[in-house]
Each structure stands twice: as structure tokens, then as C-alpha cells.
Structure 1
Amino acid sequence: MTPDQQNLLEAVVRIAKLAGEEILDVYRRDGGIAAQTKGDDSPLTEADTRANDVIVSELKRLTPDIPVLSEESAVLPWDVRSQWVEYWLIDPLDGTKEFINRNDEFTVNIALVRAGEPVMGVVHAPALARTWSGMKGEGAWRQEGADVPQIIHSVKMPVEIESSSVMVVASRRHGGEQLQGMLDTLALRFKEVELVNMGSSLKICIIAEGGADIYPRLAPTSEWDTAAAQAVLCAAGGMICTLDFAPLRYNSKESVLNPSFIALGDMTFAWQKVLDLTPAPADSTQQ
């Protein structure tokens, strides 16, 4: 890693932790957490706004020529965003419902996206005092509090899967029949399927550090929900792909919604075959 890359990554970690302090100031107050409802029916709290203000102002000071797109800012028109080659993509408080419920499973997400790909990401979990970071081609790290960051790697799948278990992470709030169908398919291939539910980008970071194998997301998400953790996971040896196993891309269309996707720890494993997601042959009678 070059000195400039190191300095940039450390600066973004610092910014994420500053935002985390704003979030914890609200989180640790006595009484309930007040929330408004946004146009998409998702909650908005004082912590979202305060964290957003810190991140946006600090990033503009750090890299004044790089635009910033945030969940809590107005989404700029496509004719503007389509011209971006590089930009910051942030979710100041990922897992607002977890924050409101005070279960500690919320994160600050900051990603640098270049040509549609997250090339650097920081995910900070304020209540856990834990930070994940990653940079394309350089590696991924987990930091506990102020300790020295430790290198992390996703894990490889075993060759003999019939006698092995697979660890699945999934959302606390979004599952349904599609997810159950995928779990049933895995149960036919593996000796045991273990399922852990958790909130926010923590699911992807757990895969990046080798604590789980797969995270199927078959319900709606936005690009700021995934970019930072995707950068961490890819730098750790994993990947996030769509259901046709194409890499999840960013700022490639007017909508900022992601398609359904799968986060995987081992990108060399035959997941497409195991999950029975091989595309059907094209109908030659249709033009």
C-alpha cells in the first residue's frame, strides 16, 4: 500500500469513528429514541442526521474534488451522477431499526466507488467498538477499539461438502419463501446448515473475517447499504454477486436500488451449481 493510500484509509477510519461518536451520544441517552418516517417508510433519527453531517463535511474537506452520495442527502439526478468516475458512497447509520431497538447491530458505512466498483470501504460498528476496512489489491482488516488492525481473510469451502456444514447469515427482518427455498437447497448439499440472523453490514463483514460462508439478500437494498462492506469482503477474498453471478455494480443506472444478491466468502467455490442457479437455456424460438 502506498503512503497516500494508507493516509486516505486511515483518514476515512477516523471519519467513521467520529460519526460513531455522534451516534453513540444519541444511543446512550435515557428513554426511547425518537424517529421520523421517510418517504420510503424507513426511519430517520437524530443520530442519522448528525452522523451524516460529520461524514459529508469531513469528506469534502479531505477530498474536495470527489462528490459524495449519502442515504440522508438528496439523490442527485442521473444525468449528473452518470458523469461520475469516482465518488464517496455513504450510509451514516446502517441499521436504523437495530439502533432504535438498541441491539448494537448498526454500522457506519463509507465507500470509495471508482468506475462502478467499491475500491475502498470502512464499516464501523460504534456500539461494538469494532471497525472493518479494506482496499482493493491491498487487503482487509478488523480493528478492536484502538488496537492495531488485524488482517482478515474469508474462508475457503471444503472439498467434501456432503460431510460439512455451511454457515449462513441473514437479515433479522427480511427473509421469506425465497430465502427458505435457498436454505432448503443448501440442506440437500451440506450435512448441516447453520443460520445466524443479524442486522446491517455486519453480515457481510462476518463473512469477510471468516465467520460465515454466505449471505443471500433477496429483499430490497440500496447501493449505500452494501458498497463499503463489499469493498471489505472483496479485499478479504470474497465477493458479492447478483443471482446470475455477475459482480454487484454501482452507479450504473438511474435507480440506486440493488438487485437481489449473494455475498460469498469463497469466490472459487461452485456456488452456482450448489445453489442450482444456473441460468436456463435461451428459447431459440424467441427473437
Structure 2
Amino acid sequence: MLEILEASALAAGQAIMEIYLAGPSVTYKRDASPVTDADHRAERIILADLAAAFPDIPVVAEEEVAAGRVPDIAGKRFFLVDPLDGTKEFVKRNSHFTVNIGLIENGEPVTGVVYAPALGLIYSAAAGRAKKALVENGKPAGQWTTIGCRRCGDRPMALTSRWHNSPETVSFLTDQGIEDSEAVGSSLKFCLLAEGTADIYPRFSRTMEWDTAAGDAILRAAGGETLTTAGISLAYGKRNQPDDSDFANPWFISRGRA
């Protein structure tokens, strides 16, 4: 399965880069978030690949959900797809945007692929192993490298959202005595924790499950964790929430090894 997901993410990334270089067409959803022709094209590629290879596994994809098309996932394993995470980065021609495909089983992210086409980096994880590779000409270049979280030292490095930081995040870092932080876009924050270049990612602003699933799968396989502010492992497949929409995440804290 993982090789198929990797190949699909790479194909979607190639389509994204074609539009990135030509200049995207941008529209806005009801929540005022941007969406581009690259989002739609990449999602069509991934959906076609998943339907061909795994016809019995439902797919929850960002733009499909926005159009009101949500499959039945009750009691099933399912895919979560964000074809272009970091659309604001993409529109502003920053390189921190990613393709994300995650597999959920029993509410947990167990397999994931995150591809950053403008950076030429792909991360993936399955069966408790996380890895990364450089990408050249749409294919992994050289050997995959196994990655793992580092143990947090006396001076932890935090990652924050470039566009969705919040006063609560700033207060958390102050309360924890964390002085070093870097703003990073998209799901790359999970991958940086997973490869051991940072220690903690507090997210005290809105995210959706497709934003986090693939990166979270990679982080967990690398030895890290994602917990809600109540200290509970972040769950997936959240429907009929009394205080939020389907698939919306609560605030959470992702971290490497303690």
C-alpha cells in the first residue's frame, strides 16, 4: 500500500508544480479559505489512484467534503486526503506546501505520506517505521532514510503555524519556558518533529483531520505523539460533534520524545 500512496502523492505533486510555475487560479470557500485549481487537480489524481487500488476503502478528501460528498466511514478504515496543505503558502509562492495522504484504522493514523514538491522532499510511514527521501524529476532520488524523533534537551525547539498562530500558543510557549521557535507552514511541522530537528508543535487554532492525519502518522511512527490539551491521543473520524463540525480537530500538542 505505501508504495501506491507514495506514487500517488508524487503524481499529485507534479501536477501542483505545473500550476505553481504557470500561476494558479484562486477562489475562496465559504469559510474564506483559498482554494486553487491545483487543489482540485491534485485531489482528482489521488482519488482516481485510491479508487483503482483500494476500491473498498472510503476516502475523506478536503475538496470532496467541501462539495458535500462524504462517504460512510462508520466502523471502517479510511483514507484522509489533503491534496494541497498550505494553500496560502502556495498562493504566496512559498515552498512550504504539501500533499497529504493518511490511512486511519480504529481512529488512529497508521500510514501516511507527506510530499513537499517545491522542497523536493517526501516523508512516509507504515508499520511503525518512518522514512524520508529526496525527490528529483518526480521520483525518490537515492535511498530512503529511516527517521526518528530526538529526545528533548534543556533548550527545546518549538514549531508554530506561519499563518494560524494564536495568543494561546504564545502563552503556552511562555508558560513552558520555551524561548526558541520557528514558524513553518503546512504539515511539514509534523515531519520536522519526526526527523528530529524540532521538539514540540502546539496548535491552539483550528485544524481539520485531513490537515494532520498523514503528518501525525509519520510522527507517531517516528516515536512521537499528538495529544489533546486533555492529554488524550488525537483521534480521527470525528463525526456529529456537539461543539464543532465533522472532522474538526480540538487544540493539540505534537511532540517528539520526552
Displacement of 1:252 in angstroms is 3.1
Equivalent residue, structure 2, for 1:106: 97
Equivalent residue, structure 1, for 2:161: 171
Equivalent-residue separation in structure 2 for 1:233 and 1:131 (angstroms)? 14
Equivalent residue, structure 2, for 1:156: 151
User: What is the aligned counterpart of 1:13 among 6, 20, 32?
Assistant: 6
Q: Within 5 Å, which residues of 2 pair with 1:74-113?
A: 74=65, 75-76=68-69, 80-81=72-73, 83-113=74-104
Displacement of 1:185 in angstroms is 1.2
User: Which stretches in structure 1 are left out of the alignment for 5+ residues?
Assistant: 1-7, 159-163, 270-287
Equivalent residue, structure 2, for 1:274: none
User: What is the aligned counterpart of 1:211 among 188, 197, 211?
Assistant: 197
User: What is the aligned counterpart of 1:140 among 125, 130, 138?
Assistant: 130
1:72 aligned onto 2:63: yes
Secondary structure, counterpart of 1:165 in structure 2: coil
Secondary structure, counterpart of 1:230 in structure 2: helix
User: After superposition, what is the alpha-carbon deviation per residue over 1:168-224, rounded to whole angstroms, capped at 9, x for unaligned?
Assistant: 00001122221111111122xx6xx21100100001110000010000000000000
In the superposition, the TM-score normalised over structure 1's length comes to 0.83
Contact 2:224 / 2:256 at 8 angstroms: preserved in 1?
yes
User: In 2 relative to 1, CA 48–77 (structure 1 residues): closer, same or farther, beyond 3 Å?
Assistant: closer
Equivalent residue, structure 1, for 2:15: 22
User: What is the aligned counterpart of 1:195 among 173, 181, 184?
Assistant: 181
Tell me how many residue pairs correspond in the alignment.
246
Equivalent-residue separation in structure 2 for 1:26 and 1:35 (angstroms)? 11
Identity %: 41
In the superposition, the TM-score normalised over structure 2's length comes to 0.92
Secondary structure, counterpart of 2:159 in structure 1: strand
For the pair shown, the structure with the greater C-alpha radius of gyration is 1
Equivalent-residue separation in structure 2 for 1:107 and 1:96 (angstroms)? 9
User: In 2 relative to 1, CA 77–127 (structure 1 residues): closer, same or farther, beyond 3 Å?
Assistant: closer
Q: Within 5 Å, which residues of 2 pair with 1:242-281?
A: 242-254=228-240, 255-266=246-257, 269=258
Displacement of 1:41 in angstroms is 1.1
Equivalent-residue separation in structure 1 for 2:184 and 2:125 (angstroms)? 21
User: Which stretches in structure 2 are left out of the alignment for 5+ residues?
Assistant: 241-245
Equivalent-residue separation in structure 2 for 1:124 and 1:20 (angstroms)? 7
The one-letter code of the counterpart of 2:90 is: F
Secondary structure, counterpart of 1:66 in structure 2: coil
Provide the aligned C-alpha RMSD in A: 1.4
Equivalent residue, structure 1, for 2:111: 120
Equivalent-residue separation in structure 1 for 2:12 and 2:132 (angstroms)? 18
Equivalent-residue separation in structure 2 for 1:10 and 1:77 (angstroms)? 26
User: After superposition, what is the alpha-carbon deviation per residue over 1:241-281, rounded to whole angstroms, capped at 9, x for unaligned?
Assistant: 10111000011322210000011001xx3xxxxxxxxxxxx
The one-letter code of the counterpart of 1:104 is: S
